């Protein structure tokens, strides 16, 4: 069964969203490097790579279904933030946004009775639970610490082992 034109376009659009995510995290990593918070920079760099993998998984799916992938233009990411909490709050909100996008794809695949795409999307539904939990957990910690510099450095050390 051929992938519908609408689904091909929606997945291409999601690939752009994943690559935009990658760039957002790469810019967050650069911000942390600039602040001397190398553990957080490392965590964001890993996240950047994960997002590229998310994009590639969708690209491979398009190829598997004989559909065309068009390399998208990526959006310029934000360069500066107020502090570490601001960065992770932004990352958490971003992941919630990405989850809502994945759910829309699930709705679309359900409406089209496209069971193959539904099955493929299950991986992303599960992945988003993890993505939100990761970023949300760090937000909670940083909120608890407030401006406590020792605490922030401890979190930075912890994130260096991701």
In angstroms, what is the minimal distance from the CB of 48 to ligand OFO? 10
Using alpha carbons, select from 162, 159, 22, 161 the residue that is nearest to residue 84. Answer: 159
Residue nearest to ligand OFO (CB): 21
- 54 sits near ligand OFO (criterion: CB under 6 A): yes
First to last CA, the chain: 40
How wide is the angle at C-alpha 121 spanned by C-alphas 118 and 124, nearest 5°? 160
- 131 sits near ligand OFO (criterion: CB under 6 A): yes
- 51 sits near ligand OFO (criterion: CB under 6 A): yes
Among 12, 21, 29, 117, binds ligand OFO (CB under 6 A): 21
Nearer to ligand OFO, 24 or 152 (CB): 24
- Could you tell me if 142 and 152 are in contact, meaning their C-beta atoms sit under 8 angstroms apart? yes
Residue 9 has which token pair? 């376009």
The binding track of 76-115 with respect to ligand OFO, each residue x by CB under 6 A or -, is -------------------x--x-----------------
For tokens 């918070």, what's the residue?
A: 37
Residue 146 has which token pair? 């407030």
Q: Given the rule CB under 6 A, which residues bind ligand OFO?
A: 18, 21, 51, 54, 95, 98, 131
């Amino acid at each position: 069964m051929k992938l519908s034109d609408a689904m091909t376009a929606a997945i291409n659009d999601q690939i752009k969203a994943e690559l935009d995510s990658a760039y957002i995290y790469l810019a967050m990593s650069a911000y942390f490097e600039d602040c001397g918070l190398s553990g957080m920079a490392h965590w964001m760099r890993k996240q950047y790579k994960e997002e590229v993998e998310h994009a590639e998984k969708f690209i491979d799916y398009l190829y598997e279904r004989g559909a065309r992938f068009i390399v998208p233009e990526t959006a310029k990411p934000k360069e500066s933030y107020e502090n570490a909490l601001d960065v992770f709050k932004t990352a958490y909100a971003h992941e919630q946004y990405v989850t809502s996008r994945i759910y829309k794809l699930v709705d679309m695949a359900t409406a089209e009775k496209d069971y193959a795409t539904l099955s493929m999307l299950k991986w992303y539904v599960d992945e988003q639970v993890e993505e939100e939990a990761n970023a949300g957990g760090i937000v909670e910690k940083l909120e608890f610490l407030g401006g406590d510099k020792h605490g922030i450095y401890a979190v930075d050390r912890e994130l260096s082992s991701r």
